[in-house]
Amino acid sequence: MKLLLIGIVAISIIYFFTSQSSQGTPSISSASAQSLLDDEDYIFLDVRTLAEHENLSIPNTSVIPIEELANRVDELEKYKDKKIILYCRSGNRSGTGTMMLRELGYDAINLTGGMNQWSGITE
């Protein structure tokens, strides 16, 4: 019974985030985002793990893993007046993070396709 309940909760969470992202999570393509790398009105935030970030990332970006974002959101307070472009490997984790930050009043945007579709410079 306990296992069934855990399964139902997990499916509900997945459904919630899937339906939220398909209902208008603000997003931006790799091509459009590349032109904003040097725009002071935008910052890029990697929500992958630190190991993923260290392996390959968009230059001059901070990393707060999605698992830690809720507990570390205060670190983003200094960017409250900027647009925050979140990215991950494929766009799923960053989509979740985008919704989370938007609910907290941030102007967050999901990088569609994440690093899988990023064709800009990397480090």
24 is a domain residue:
yes
Cα–Cα distances (Å) from 16 to 9, 19, 83, 97, in that order, read 10, 5, 24, 13
Distance CA 100, CA 122 (A): 26
Domain range spanning residue 63?
Answer: 2-117
89 is a domain residue:
yes
Identify the CATH number of the domain in which residue 56 sits: 3.40.250.10
Q: Are 5 and 45 in contact (CB under 8 A)?
A: no
What number of helices (H) and strands (E) belong to the chain? Answer: 6, 5
8 is a domain residue:
yes
122 is a domain residue:
no
What residues are labeled active site?
A: 88
- The predicted model scores a pTM of 0.81
Predicted confidence (pLDDT) per residue in 16-52, tens digit:
444 444 457 999 999 999 999 999 999 999 999 999 9
Give the pLDDT mean for 49-75.
Answer: 97
